[in-house]
Structure 1
Amino acid sequence: MITVGVLALQGAFSEHIQLLRQAAMTIKPATPESPNFQFVEVRTQDELSKCDALIIPGGESTAISLVAARSGLLEPLRDFVKVERKPTWGTCAGLILLAESANRTKKGGQELIGGLDVRVERNHFGRQLDSFATDLKLPFLDPDVDAKPFKSVFIRAPVVEKILPHKEGIQTEEAEQVDTVVAPSKTPKDDAAKRMLGGEVEILATLPAGSASQSAAAKGGDVIAIRQGNVFGTSFHPELTGDPRIHTWWLERVSEQVKMKSTTA
């Protein structure tokens, strides 16, 4: 049994739970030993400790980080992602929280979890009124099975502004920028976790040219989906579409990573 949690402090966590359940029904077990999934809402450190994987939903990144800090969850979340290196997916606000650096932060900044060696730009597409939806062809989905475009919803969404080198001192360099906050450094706890680092950031999807018709700020080439080791991030909200294909893809990756860790532990 693989337990997948959805951080339920604020934002669209219930929508993620619904799509995860749909996605799990579409995954055919490869063998009788293939795992089943269970999905839980996470609000406490004890609930988090029972999870093999986690989704951080869209919502308000500042509010999520504030509630997490007040409830004593912020450091356990950092350990979950960066020390234990468990599979984690962030959508919109979740992507911001999983970045090592974020700019255009509100006065006083906000806390980040980290895990992805990127700098994100918050609210890249403007205000709530500038929200838009567009059909995307996502290369990481199976083109033979998933040829239909994925309708993607962007609501005050971030984009990946810069891929950061994985090196000592990068947090200090990023912190010197105006209106930029950084996540604290963490070290994987063992060799199995270190192997989940996965090397460089992999760009999985960019906004296609022509999307400016939906938003004045949208430009072709904006990075909107990335992965690095155990961490996956999307600028948009798959949970608001009713389409479980990305959730299915991610659960398959979760199963692979959990199996990898169990065989190398």
Structure 2
Amino acid sequence: MTTSKSVVIGVLALQGAFREHIAYFNELIQQNPNDYADYEFNIIEVKTKEDLSQCDSLVIPGGESTSISYIAERTHLLPHLYEFIADESKSVWGTCAGMIFLSRQLLNGKLNQKILGGLNVEVSRNAFGRQLNSFEQPLDFSSFIPGCTNFPTVFIRAPVVTRILSNPVHSQEEDHHKQGVIMTENPYVNNASVEVLYSLKNYDSQDHDLIVAVKQGHILGISFHPELAGDYSFHKWFIDEFVLKRKVHS
């Protein structure tokens, strides 16, 4: 008799769209029983260090990045999040505010806002404007998600990656004096290469490309809200390419 392998995916439940992510994961697993017959999944809310300690993987949802930061610090979860993202046997996914929280440098952040430093990128908050400027756009992600050619991508007060930090420690030293630039306090440095997965091409009249999805080793960051898309492609890809591959090799 084959014993199912236990897999725990945590969704940080301090603020934001954590319930939507949990529902997507549960529905995806229920709808694909043959794909995951060898695994027993448990999708949990993460609010404490005890919750976090159970997790093989962590999703940091969209919401309000400053609120997530302040609550994590007030509840003494922040140092445990620093440790979790530094554990490269785990996997981490940040969506919208979650990508902000995972960045190493942050433009136009708020006073005393903290970031985790798992992605060697600089991120700008609210890059597309306010809530009224939110939009949905079908995008082709088939270059890294097979068959995902028309994903209904939802951007709500979304951030963008403004810079890849090829030498993150040196970049932080250079930028430390700049007003409005927040640096991570986490000593961990992710030594994997940053892969740009997707950019919005020729976004404005100045032909700017806006980076909205990046991968760096065990960490994924995206600008948008896949848990609002009515499409499980991103959640399935995260399970298959991040969660299970690291679980198999751990």
* TM-score normalized with structure 2 length: 0.90
Q: Does 1:223 align with 2:216?
A: no
Q: 1:156 — aligned with what? A: 157
The yes-or-no answer on 1:13 pairing with 2:49 is: no
**Quick one: distance in 1 between partners of 2:122 and 2:36?**
40
Cα distance, 1:207 vs structure 2: 1.2
Q: Does 1:80 align with 2:90?
A: no
- The structure 2 residue matched to 1:115, chosen from 90, 109, 118, is 118
Among 69, 74, 77, which residue is 1:70 paired with? 74
Relative distance call for 1:36 and 1:131 in structure 2 (3 A) is same
Three-state SS of the structure 2 residue aligned to 1:36 is strand
Report the count of equivalent residues. Answer: 243
Flag the 1:24–1:48 CA change in 2: closer, same or farther, 3 A: same
After superposition, the Cα gap between the structure-2 partners of 1:31 and 1:109, relative to the gap in structure 1 and judged at 3 Å, is: closer
Which segments of 5 or more consecutive residues in structure 1 lack a partner in the other structure?
189-196
Contact 2:82–2:186 (8 Å) recurs in 1: no
Superposed, 1:1-265 pairs within 5 Å as 1-27=6-32, 34-83=38-87, 86-106=90-110, 108-138=111-141, 139-143=143-147, 146-147=148-149, 149-187=150-188, 197=190, 199-209=192-202, 221-253=209-241, 254-260=243-249, 262=250
Letter in 1 for 2:234: I
Distance in 2, Cα, partners of 1:31 & 1:4: 14
Query: Structure 1 100/25 Cα, relative in aligned 2: closer, same or farther at 3 Å?
Result: same
- Higher-strand-fraction structure: 2
| Amino acid in structure 2 at the alignment position of 1:259 | V
Percent of aligned positions that are identical: 40
- Root-mean-square deviation (Å): 2.2
Q: Which runs of 5+ in 2 are unaligned?
A: 1-5
TM-score, normalised relative to structure 1: 0.85
